[in-house]
Copies of this chain bind each other. A is one copy, B any other.
Amino acid sequence: MTAGFGSRSQSATGATEPFADRLAALVEARHSQIALGLDPDPAALWPAVHETSADGDPAELTAAAVARHCRAVIEAAGAACVAVKLQLACFERLGAAGWAALAETAEAARGHDLLVIADGKRGDVPVTARAYAQALIGKTPGPFGSVAGLGADAFTANPLLGRDSLEPLVTAARECGAGCFSLVRTSNPGAADVQDLVAAEGPVHEALARLVDDFGADLLGASGLSGAGAVTGATRPEHLRRLRELMPRAIFLLPGVGAQGGRVDDLAAAFTPHPAAGLVAASRSIVDAHAGGGAEPAAAAAAAAHELRRATWRLATG
């Protein structure tokens, strides 16, 4: 891990700067609220990352190509972004070699002073939630010494199992200076099936928002923002104003812009408390920006990322 701007540095007292403040500083420095989504599909990598000599285990070769692809995307588009959002499923499907590629990609992101968001949407009973926290942001004690986890700066969590399933994640996040983005209203059409059911207290997604807000003080930064964040899809902006009322301090992670149909201009409510109160997650619209026009992938990705950066910065500070 580099000790650069935005990385998880510890003070002399062992305290770790909260995720919210590290993010706010990066947003201000780069005039960007973009989280670069890396969901690598081995069948659609940038052409330059394929090696000509292809002898060996398919999993190892594929994982190495995936890691090269992710590094190339970070080198091309990272300067326009403040974070990478690593889609764990896309690495897990390559087994142990894929997990090594995940760790390598996280390291590459840190090398470009990007925050690392592990997007695995984990959620489980308390004892298992603690294990997930060890995997993503902590370390695991054992007979041969501690084993370091992925070292992410933040992660996504699924709150279906309720408060006691989130508590160990938030506790670990506080100890590590990390952020925890809990699902509140996701970007897919099926989200309505469960998240929009209406209980006496209001829709389920509002109950999830209240859960997130209850943890707000635990991960609060000097910026006034909290790393007890929320995943609020950009595809249904009509929810954002209400969710912002319910979670005034939470950082919103906003997936669904671009390929899924969400538009930056509809996201103003996310940014009302602070320019760093929202993170626009974009993957295909940056990584596959070359697909339409025939431009070189890196140049197209850089251009798309900067365009999205400018549009979001204008919206958030306008």
Contacts and interface: CB of A to CB of B under 8 A. Distances in A.
A238 interface: no
Interface stretch (A88-96, A287-295, A305-313): A88-96
Interface stretch (A7-15, A19-27, A145-153, A266-274): A145-153
Interface string A135-168: 1000011111111111000000011111111100
Number of copies: 2
Interface string A163-199: 1111000000000000000010011111111110111
B126 A188 contact: yes
Contacts of A62: 140, 142-144, 147
Interface stretch (A28-36, A53-61, A219-227, A246-254): A53-61
A215 interface: no
A10 to B, nearest CB: 21
Contacts of A121: 122-124, 158
A13 B183 CA distance: 42
Interface of A: 39, 42-43, 45, 50, 54, 56, 58-59, 61-62, 65, 87, 89-90, 92-100, 103, 121-129, 131-132, 134-135, 140-150, 158-166, 183, 186-195, 197-201, 204, 207-208, 211, 255, 260
